[in-house]
Amino acid sequence: MPTNKKKCINCGKKIPINNDYCWSCGTDQNTGEITKQFKDHPKLFRRLKFLTSSYGGLVWDKSLKCVRCGSRDDLEYYHLKKNLEVKKSLLYPEYKYSPSFKFPICSKCADNFINWKVSKKILTIISYMWFFVSFYTFLAIRLNIKLWILIYLFSILILIGLYIALIKSKYNPNSWMDIRGYYSKVHNKFILTEYVKSKNSKEWIEYDEWLKNIKSQ
């Protein structure tokens, strides 16, 4: 029975058949040597296995960095549920879309994303509470309709303003950028390119240039 796993030549643990490295011990399956990247960053190296498995993992790159701020310290993977534009191969220029993807970000940016989600939930709860409070307030001051209308409209404007500010926040993980890569049939791996695109832009720009634009804002 065919299998898509093989044993590491060093530790014997099972790894994807197309992997050049063992996630557990960092052994290069071609040379039998422990990779320098594993020696320098063993925890980060092991975390690579949490990348989208359908693409066979991300090719190891010693310049791996946070796609939000460029930091290489304390990296982790953030699961972003959105369409990812994927170039299948340099020889096959057609595009396909993936419903979700995991990419490297630093713990600081991850915390900012989590705080953004918490803020969104709090604002949603406040909105529901406001609906019930406004209803009972109307019953309490139904003799003064004009006052109730002013309070009602003022509250709506505040909530709309808060929602707009939250959606346009630079910490909104679902709107700040897109990431592009291509699928290599030769290596059977998904490879990130050094190009990104903001949501409202039609042009892909180099990552370093995009990073400069972010820092200048």
Each residue's pLDDT tens digit, 67-120: 677 777 766 666 554 444 444 444 434 444 444 455 667 778 778 877 888 888
Whether residue 197 is contained in a domain is answered as no
Overall pTM > 0.75: no
Q: Burial, 217: exposed, middle or buried (Cβ in 10 Å; 0-12, 13-18, 19+)?
A: exposed
What's the start-to-end Cα distance of the chain, in Å?
Answer: 56
At residue 176, what are phi and psi to the nearest 5 degrees? -80, -25
Q: CB count, 10 Å around CB of 37?
A: 17
Within a domain: 9:
yes
Write down which residue in 124, 152, 167 finishes a domain: 167
CB neighbour class for 169 (10 Å; exposed up to 12, middle 13-18, buried from 19): middle
Token duo for residue 107: 């713990």
Residue 143 belongs to domain spanning: 116-167
Q: In this structure, how many other beta carbons lie within 10 angstroms of the beta carbon of residue 53?
A: 10
pLDDT digits (tens, 9 = 90+) for 65-75: 676 777 777 66
Longest dimension (CA), the chain: 85
Number of structural domains the chain divides into: 2
211 inside domain: no
Q: Is residue 161 part of a domain?
A: yes
| Distance, CA of 115 to CA of 71 (rounded, Å) | 19
Whether residue 67 is contained in a domain is answered as no
Q: Decide if 20 is inside a domain.
A: yes
User: Within 10 Å of residue 60's Cβ, how many Cβ atoms?
Assistant: 16
Phi/psi at 117 (5° precision): -65, -40
In a domain, 123, yes or no: yes
What's the distance, CA 19 to chain centroid? Answer: 23
The residue from 50, 68, 87 where one domain ends is 50
Sign for the CA dihedral angle at 20, 13, 25, 10 comes to: negative
Is the residue at 107 inside a domain? Answer: no
64-101: b or e for each residue (b if 16 or more CB lie within 10 Å)? bbbbbeeeeeebbbbebeeebebbeeeeeeeeeebeeb
Could you give the dihedral angle defined by the CA atoms of residues 204, 177, 84 and 172, in that order, rounded to the nearest 10 degrees?
-170
pLDDT in tens for each of the 217 residues of the chain? 445 678 888 888 877 776 777 767 778 788 888 776 666 656 555 544 433 333 333 334 445 567 677 777 766 666 554 444 444 444 434 444 444 455 667 778 778 877 888 888 888 888 888 877 777 766 666 656 777 777 778 888 888 888 888 877 777 766 555 554 444 444 444 444 555 555 555 565 655 565 566 555 5
Neighbours of 27 (CB within 10 A): 22
